[in-house]
Structure 1
Amino acid sequence: MDMSYLQIKKDIKTGTIKPVYFMYGNQTFLMEDLLLDIIKKAVGTQDDPSVITYSLQDTILDLAIEEAETFPFFGGKKVVIVKDFFLVSTQKQETKVEHDLERLQQYISHPSPESILILMAPFEKLDERKKVTKLLKQSATVVECTPFDEKMLSAWLEDQARSKKFRFTADGKEHLLERVGPQLLLLASEMEKLALYVGDEGEVTGEVVDLLVARSLEQDVFALIDFAVKQRLDKALEIYHDLLKQKEEPLKLLALIARQLRIYYQVKEMTRRSYSQKQIAMQLKLHPYVVKLASGQSQRLDDQRLLQLLEACTDTDYAIKSGKMEKVLAVELLLIKVAAV
């Protein structure tokens, strides 16, 4: 049974905990977050002896199943965690350990009421042809831990704010996403800081975010191009020189500028071919929120202008590497070209 991360989180908080969880995807932060919620609700703390963790890299699955079948020594509940559950993955694993899947199948059919078995597969793709994958998808509580779309990201931010006892204004949430991007681990870290600053029942506005939250490098480059495209060259150069003061390498910044412009071109082209933003995100392996921002930005530049700027990036790279131009000045001149009508 496939359920969303937010629904599972809500269920755990209200005390609805399932006997077998199967978590998969590349957002390991979400897995760890749910794991902590389950442990907290079921036994209280991670240090509790009723929490037992195995890794399939060095342990046979039988041991974990046997542990789940054994009554907890001190009574109450037991949490058995199996990390690196690669048996469902398309990736080949170097391991000499043989695993008995029949025993897992029998356990899932009749799980122990005293145990909570959690299988964690930190892989982007599952091998849907495997019998074990089909079994888990049919019989376990399945949690897909993949990047959120815009709606889920917004709901997650609200949920995190509630748990930390503060609230966002609309521009507060928007500024936070603009500065940090859709990286959940970083967002969670920044929200700890915001919660401490505004206190219980406090309000996080755009101004508060601007005061406390530094932009990530990618977001800085996005803002830099945004200002240049809007012909606010002074602001673009201000961000550029701030990054240089932070010891960022001009060639690295040039590569990020070129990457951003390439994303604009690809998003523009795929939108023209009637791809949805979700489809574009999947094709380009980008977060849907990044695609949304790029879509708005790319409308300001026509195709010819974008191609000219991409060519200017290549020329700038060559001029620096061949020693024809000094690197700091070369990137500065490129920004002037971006800002030119």
Structure 2
Amino acid sequence: MVAIKAHEADRTLARLDPAWRLILFYGPDTGLVAERAATLARKSVDDPDDAFQLIRMDGDAIAADPLKLVDEANTIGLFGGRRAIRVSATGKPLIAAVEPLLTAPSQDALVIIEAGDLQRSNPLRTACERAKSALAVPCYGDAARDLGSIIDEMVRAAGKSIDRNAREHLSSLLGGDRQTSRREIEKLLLYLGDDPAVTESHIEAIVGDTAQREQAMLVDAVFAGRLPVLDLAQAKLAGEGLDPGVMLGAVLRQALALLKARQSVDAGRSVKDVVGTMRLPYPRIATTEAALGAWSTAKLTEAVGLLGAAVLATRQNAETGRATATRSLWTLARLARSGRSD
């Protein structure tokens, strides 16, 4: 059985066992899935630009005709050398195409398959984890340590520098998806121009949105029952002219997301597993895990009802909208403080 933990992925891929002839990349971080698949594909052939060595196949096409992958994997290269087959992600089942290759692995080609967030019971994931000739690689959102390495790598490649405080600040604004993080860093480095070092002022100017971060602070404060933080965030957002209905809408969206997640936890999934599928920026992972531990399905259902009524009230009477929003958010924060053991 070849199943590895997410934190073991890079180390395992660096020392790939030749017996593994099929590699499955799966997980909620589609950017990381694609990046790891592309990196492995390039390393597995002598010339990545040679279409006879690196073969790209469409996942939908293979799902419709499973023998296409089997035939390609068993084709002998005309000019010898190493070959790799990279299969793009699809929402359709690929198990019929993969099973023959697990039973009789290709000796000529390494098969690389990209997939989405596969549950433990998914037949494709289960089959690859059980086969001696395959490796299943989970791809989850970057942890702070991983983001720090990516930042250092990209900043160094651009001929710039960044100090520890700026790196930690930048890391706090990234996460969830590897490709999205890289695009944000690329945008930041382009903004730097001739400046030799990345500073916090550069980061504030170009990465993320301050109002969005303050809105996230308000949302997390509500579900954590942190009244002083809630007051501060609400005052800042009000000072920036944010409509109270928009504040309530942000909290309502989080309540609905937590309710869906809580139902998955009630069905038997772990909190960490569920939160891992939500593609959150790194700083919000811990607060969301804590909220799921503190809020029951019943209380989240109550919160959704209260927020829905408050949103409607602010639309019906704009003059009392801010007072309605404040009262509703305080009610929910107190509910969080009194319900931590639920």
Q: TM-score, normalised by structure 1?
A: 0.66
Query: Which whole-Å CA distance do the structure 2 matches of 1:232 and 1:56 have between them?
Result: 45
| Structure 1 counterpart of 2:38 | 36
Hey, what's the Cα distance between the residues in 2 that align with 1:264 and 1:63?
A: 42
Q: How far apart are the structure 1 equivalents of 2:320 and 2:285?
A: 28
Match of 1:133 in 2: 126
Cα distance in 2 for residues equivalent to 1:136 and 1:265 = 31
Task: Give the secondary-structure state (helix, strand or coil) at the position aligned to 2:60.
Answer: coil
Change (3 A) 1:297 1:42: closer
Give the count of matched residue pairs. 304
| Contact 2:313–2:321 (8 Å) recurs in 1 | no
Give the secondary-structure state (helix, strand or coil) at the position aligned to 2:61: coil
Post-superposition Cα deviations, 1:59-113, rounded to whole Å, max 9, x if no partner, equal: 3332222222223334332111233384468xxxxxxxxx4666323332xx31x
> Are 1:228 and 1:336, in contact at CA under 8 Å, matched by a contact in 2?
no
State the alpha-carbon separation in 2 of the partners of residues 13 and 199 from structure 1: 34
The equivalent residue for 1:67 is 72
Maintained 8 Å contact 1:222/1:260:
no
In 1, Cα distance between equivalents of 2:203 and 2:13: 30
Shift of 1:163: 3.0
| Counterpart Cα distance in 2 of 1:294 and 1:214 | 20
Q: Quote the offset at 1:256 in angstroms.
A: 1.3
Q: Does the 8 Å CA contact 2:215/2:233 hold for their aligned counterparts?
A: no
Partner of 2:61: 58
For the pair 1:325 / 2:317, whether they are aligned, the reply is yes
- Write the deviation string for residues 173-206 of structure 1: whole angstroms up to 9, x where unpaired: 4433543453433222111223445689965454
Quote the Cα distance in structure 2 between the aligned partners of 1:232 and 1:19. Answer: 53
Q: Which residue of 2 aligns with 1:302?
A: none
In structure 2, relative to structure 1, the CA distance for the partners of 1:264 and 1:79 (3 Å cut) is closer
1:120 to 114, 138, 141: 114
Contact 2:170 2:203 in 1 (8 A): yes
Work out the CA distance in 2 between the residues paired with 1:239 and 1:265. Answer: 30
Cα distance change, pair 237–22 in 1 and its aligned pair in 2 (3 A): same
Q: How high is the sequence identity, in percent, across the aligned residues?
A: 16
Q: Does 1:106 align with 2:103?
A: yes
Residues 200/221 of structure 1: CA separation in 2 closer, same or farther (3 Å cut): same
Task: State the match for 2:81 in structure 1.
Answer: 76
Q: Partner of 2:154 in structure 1?
A: 164
Letter in 1 for 2:21: P
Give the structure 1 partner of residue 145 of structure 2. 155
1:235 aligns to what?
Answer: 236
Aligned letter for 1:231? L
How big is each residue's C-alpha offset from its partner over 1:135-160, in whole Å with a ceiling of 9 and x where there is no partner? 55332121012x34xxx512321231
SS at match of 2:77: coil
Please give the alpha-carbon distance, in whole angstroms, between the structure 2 residues aligned to 1:32 and 1:216. 30
Instruction: Report the Cα distance in structure 2 between the residues aligned to 1:283 and 1:6, rounded to whole angstroms.
Output: 17
Name the aligned partner's letter for residue 101 of structure 2: L
For 1:88 and 1:280, locate their aligned partners in 2 and report how far apart those are by CA, in whole Å: 28
Whole-angstrom distance in 1 between the partners of 2:101 and 2:153? 36
Q: Tell me, yes or no, if structure 1 residue 191 matches structure 2 residue 185.
A: yes
Which residue identity does 1:2 align to in structure 2?
A
Equivalence map 1:75-94=2 (5 Å): 75-83=80-88, 84=90, 86-87=92-93
The two structures have a TM-score, normalised by structure 2, of 0.66
Which residue of structure 2 lines up, in the alignment, with residue 301 of structure 1? none
Q: Separation in 2 of the partners of 1:201 and 1:10? A: 35
Q: Quick one: distance in 2 between partners of 1:334 and 1:154? A: 38
What residue ranges of structure 2 are gaps of 5+ in the alignment? 222-227, 293-299, 335-342
Measure how far apart 1:279 and its partner are.
3.9
Could you say what secondary structure the match of 2:103 adopts?
helix
For residues 271-294 of structure 1, the C-alpha deviation after alignment (integer angstroms, 9 at most, x for no partner) is xxxx9xx94344566458424135
Structure 1 pair 8–168 and aligned structure 2 pair: CA distance change class (3 A) = farther
